[in-house]
């Protein structure tokens, strides 16, 4: 889970995930959104892939990324549990 939160620590990577909620996009489409170099964008994609948050599919010479919703949902659930625990709820206990 630490890889997931490390990947989520950067605003560009969080924005890439938001963009992929609307559906798969090519690396070029995603990279065009940000004023960073191609190697920097490749590093962001690698971090997201290593965390399991995105899935890469090669279509000829194009790489298309899509959101891995199951990993994102798991991270969100863990985070919500953590926040809930800070408000006095015990693990697995629902707040009233």
pLDDT of res. 39: 94
pLDDT digits (tens, 9 = 90+) for 66-84: 999 888 778 777 777 777 7
Report the distance separating Cα 68 and Cα 42, nearest Å.
Answer: 18
Q: Is the pLDDT of residue 36 over 90?
A: yes
Q: Is the pLDDT of residue 91 over 70?
A: no
Q: Is the pLDDT of residue 20 over 60?
A: yes
Q: Phi and psi dihedrals of 62, rounded to 5?
A: -105, 140
Question: What does pTM read for this prediction?
Answer: 0.77
Question: What is 6-54 written as a DSSP string?
Answer: HHHTSHHHHHHHHHHTT--EEHHHHHTTSSS-HHHHHHHHHHHHHTTSE
CATH of domain 2-68: 1.10.10.10
Neighbouring residues of 47: CB distance < 8 A, sequence distance ≥ 6? 6, 7, 10, 13
The residue extents of the domains of the chain are 2-68
């Amino acid at each position: 889970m630490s890889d997931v939160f490390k990947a989520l620590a950067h605003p560009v990577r969080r924005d890439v995930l938001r963009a992929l909620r609307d559906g798969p996009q090519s690396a070029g489409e995603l990279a065009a959104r940000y004023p960073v170099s191609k190697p920097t964008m490749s590093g962001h994609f690698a971090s997201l892939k290593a965390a399991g948050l995105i899935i890469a599919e090669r279509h000829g010479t194009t790489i298309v990324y899509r959101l891995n919703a199951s990993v994102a949902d798991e991270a969100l659930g863990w985070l919500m549990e953590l926040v809930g625990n800070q408000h006095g709820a015990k693990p697995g206990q629902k707040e009233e």
